[in-house]
Amino acid sequence: MENKHKRMIEILLQSEKSVTSKELGYMLGVSQKTIRNYVAAINQPGERYIYSSHKGYTVNREKAQQLLHAQTKGLPENQSERVRYIIKRLLQNGSNKLDLNDISDELLVSFETVKNDFSIVKEKVAQNHLFITQKNIYVSIEGSEKDKRKLLSKLLSGEFNENLLNLEVLENIFPSFNLKFLAATIQDLCQEYHYFINDYALLNLILEVAIEIDRMKHNFMQSERHNLLSNFNAQELESINKLAKTIEEKFNIQYKNGEIKELANIVLSYLTKLDYSKISSKNLNQILDKRSLDLIRILKQQMKNWHLFDVEIEGFLVKFSLHIKNLLIRMDNDYILKNPLTNHIKHSCPLIFEHAIEIGNTIGKFMKKRITEDEITFLALHIGSIMGENSYLNSRIKCALFLPSYYDYSHNLIDKIKKEFKHDIVINQVTSNIKEIDTKSNDLLINIGSNFYNLPLIETQITPFLTRNDSSSIKRAIEKTKLLKKRNYLKEHLYQITESDLFFNETHFIDRNSVLKFMCKKLIDKGYVQKKYLDDVLDRESQSSTAFGKLAVPHSINMDASKTCVSMLISNRGIKWDEHNTVNVVLLFAIKKDERALFFNIFDSIVTKLIEPQNISNVSKSKNIDELIENFLDSL
């Protein structure tokens, strides 16, 4: 299967609704006719994976996932796949020399192709503290067993499609192992020792333990060390020793000190204490080590500075702190915790994900090590659980209630409205005189009467009884008011932060770094940002790409600009932003520290709307700032 066929299936799997051929063509950079050809090629005789209707294309999720998984079992089709294959062969071969001619025969490619691939292999291996030794056509991989296992884990994790990671996939990788038994053993351990592990972490943990068992079976052992288990308490040691004994008996291996230490690090980095009733913010210092406590103090202050939620809420603080403790263990040992929700959270909740990146950046600096995008997603899940919708654009709207004077049950009606719409409106004014309505302080007028009034407010009319129809009318008016309020807010502030000489319609840029160098220089020349701004923006990109489909929203985490502004660039040709995205619209933000709330309001609105193919397509046709802003506002 060609890569573009795979990419189209992935797009359809990620979409919750039908996708038109025009939208698919735009996302893949091909014509609608080509999309139809792709569909015909994917749908094999007697086996339909993609369905067509007047609304567009949808996919049979189960069959499509099976098809993608089946494709991973064939021979490598490109250099990236060949590189992974070669590294896995080297790891499986240990210190024994591997003949490049054998690799060439296995892959059905020329010897020269394999030689070219090896330059990439050496880079990948070196990034993981390993190295390649070569004598003529014979090669081997050298380094510590621990680093070899980490690299193998990265390779296997990287092969999982986000929709495909399940126990069956792992059993295909390790067909001789009873992984259902291993999963049940870990779950029994959790129940006995009051631990919790979610489904995603369990699959990652099974992968890590299976790699360890497989390596030990092939006599690739960890080195012996002294006092290896001093970092764990008595209960943790008891649980790990019990697990090790069960694995030894079932899989016919023997754990030694170095391997027991590794098993403890792996397992305990994925498990969380379940009995929260015995853990509080007051006794966290008895459970967490000093390093974790020091970092949590820093993170608490950082989150307090956001002024978005109460960091001291007991349930949040305990769970977040225990997560940080486990995260640090994983970072110490370079364990990978894959999160299948990463793309979904990043694209559907960009504001929460951006806050998680800030936290991840602080953790990375503290640990002097980069945090992965999957780990950032787990941070986002914690932050999102308490953050809610705390932006200006999601605040309750102010409402005026007009009650003619002859109604004597007004208090009962007001109480009903307040109760039903407590999360959406604040009744700011109640009056029986229409002339007293404050049109500047209110956003919405609820009118209990038969006449409409020509006031500069959205108005809805209801009966005195708050019927089901009345509630529906108020809901529609609230949504209409919120949309108008949001549109006016965004229009006002977008014009405030844009300048005509910071709008560019350029087609000669073809890659991310060249366009960022150009756009950052414009902001530096204006004195809005410091000379290191390009480095700051690229550093943010290295943590998680700011590309969202055909849109890129680069910025710096530091938010140290002297003026908040946005530079806009449109490229009809397209700019290769990262491995997966070619963008047509780039919005480079510079942000003052005291205007971070403004940036987040605009950022969240732009990303959630312009990730839709039709909306970004319209915006990409803009010839100037006015057109771009209006095209964006039309997408709301």
Is the model's pLDDT at 2 over the cut of 80?
Answer: no
Report pLDDT digits (tens) over 13-45: 878 789 999 999 888 888 999 999 999 889 876
Structure tokens at 493: 């502030």
Q: Which fold, 280-326+344-387?
A: PTS-regulatory domain, PRD (1.10.1790)
Is the model's pLDDT at 164 over the cut of 70?
Answer: no
Q: Which numeric CATH code is attached to 498-633?
A: 3.40.930.10
Q: What's the pLDDT at 533?
A: 98
Q: What span, in angstroms and rounded, lies between the C-alpha atoms of 35 and 57?
A: 10
Is the model's pLDDT at 572 over the cut of 60?
Answer: yes
Query: Whole-model pTM above 0.85?
Result: no
Buried residues in 270-284 as b, exposed as e (16+ CB within 10 A):
bbbbeeeeebeeeeb
Counting residues of the chain whose pLDDT is more than 90, the rounded percentage is 61
Q: What's the pLDDT at 5?
A: 86
Q: What's the pLDDT at 7?
A: 83
Tell me what the mean pLDDT of segment 417-439 comes to: 92
Evaluate whether the domain defined by 167-273 bears CATH number 3.40.50: no
**Domain ranges for the chain:** 3-71, 79-143, 167-273, 280-326+344-387, 393-478, 498-633
Buried residues in 368-387 as b, exposed as e (16+ CB within 10 A):
eeebbbbbbbbbbbbbbebb
Tell me what the mean pLDDT of segment 369-395 comes to: 82
| DSSP letter string, 5-64 | HHHHHHHHHH-SS-B-HHHHHHHHTS-HHHHHHHHHHHSBTTB--EEEETTEEEE-HHHH
Report pLDDT digits (tens) over 495-543: 999 999 999 998 789 899 999 999 999 999 999 999 999 999 999 999 9
Q: What's the pLDDT at 198?
A: 83
Is the model's pLDDT at 80 over the cut of 90?
Answer: no
Q: What span, in angstroms and rounded, lies between the C-alpha atoms of 464 and 470?
A: 9
Report the DSSP pairing between strands 397-402 and 425-431. parallel
Between the alpha carbon of residue 170 and those of residues 173, 386, 401, 553, the distances in Å are: 5, 34, 61, 36
Tell me what the mean pLDDT of segment 50-65 comes to: 90
Amino acid at 424: D
Is the model's pLDDT at 165 over the cut of 70?
Answer: no
Fill in the DSSP letter of residue 94: T
Residue 572's CB is within 10 A of a number of other CB atoms, namely: 10
More confident residue, 76 or 211: 211
Amino acid at 88: K
Between the alpha carbon of residue 472 and those of residues 91, 205, 404, 460, the distances in Å are: 63, 48, 22, 10
More confident residue, 62 or 225: 62
Structure tokens at 222: 């960890």
Tell me what the mean pLDDT of segment 619-633 comes to: 96
Report pLDDT digits (tens) over 205-241: 999 999 999 999 988 888 755 445 557 788 889 999 9
Model confidence at 406, in pLDDT bands (50, 70, 90)? low
Model confidence at 359, in pLDDT bands (50, 70, 90)? very high
Report pLDDT digits (tens) over 84-124: 999 999 998 876 789 999 999 888 899 999 999 999 999 99
Contact 562, 495 (CB under 8 A): no
Give me the architecture of the 79-143 domain, per CATH. Answer: Orthogonal Bundle (1.10)
Give me the architecture of the 3-71 domain, per CATH. Answer: Orthogonal Bundle (1.10)
Q: What span, in angstroms and rounded, lies between the C-alpha atoms of 206 and 17?
A: 34
Q: What span, in angstroms and rounded, lies between the C-alpha atoms of 498 and 33?
A: 38
Q: What span, in angstroms and rounded, lies between the C-alpha atoms of 378 and 78?
A: 32
Q: Which fold, 393-478?
A: Rossmann fold (3.40.50)
Report pLDDT digits (tens) over 448-468: 876 777 889 999 999 988 999
Fill in the DSSP letter of residue 222: P
Q: What's the pLDDT at 162?
A: 47
Counting residues of the chain whose pLDDT is more than 70, the rounded percentage is 93
Contact 60, 68 (CB under 8 A): no
Name the strand (E) or helix (H) holding 219: none
- What is the overall mean pLDDT for the chain? 89
Helices (H), 74-144: 79-93, 100-107, 111-126
Query: How many helices and strands (H and E) does the chain possess?
Result: 26, 16
Is the model's pLDDT at 159 over the cut of 80?
Answer: no
- Non-local (6+) Cβ contacts of 611 within 8 A are 347, 548, 549, 551
Q: What's the pLDDT at 226?
A: 42
Report the DSSP pairing between strands 56-59 and 50-53. antiparallel
Q: Does 3-71 match 79-143 in CATH topology?
A: yes
Report the DSSP pairing between strands 444-448 and 458-462. parallel
Is the model's pLDDT at 274 over the cut of 70?
Answer: no
Report pLDDT digits (tens) over 288-324: 899 999 999 999 999 999 988 888 887 889 889 999 9
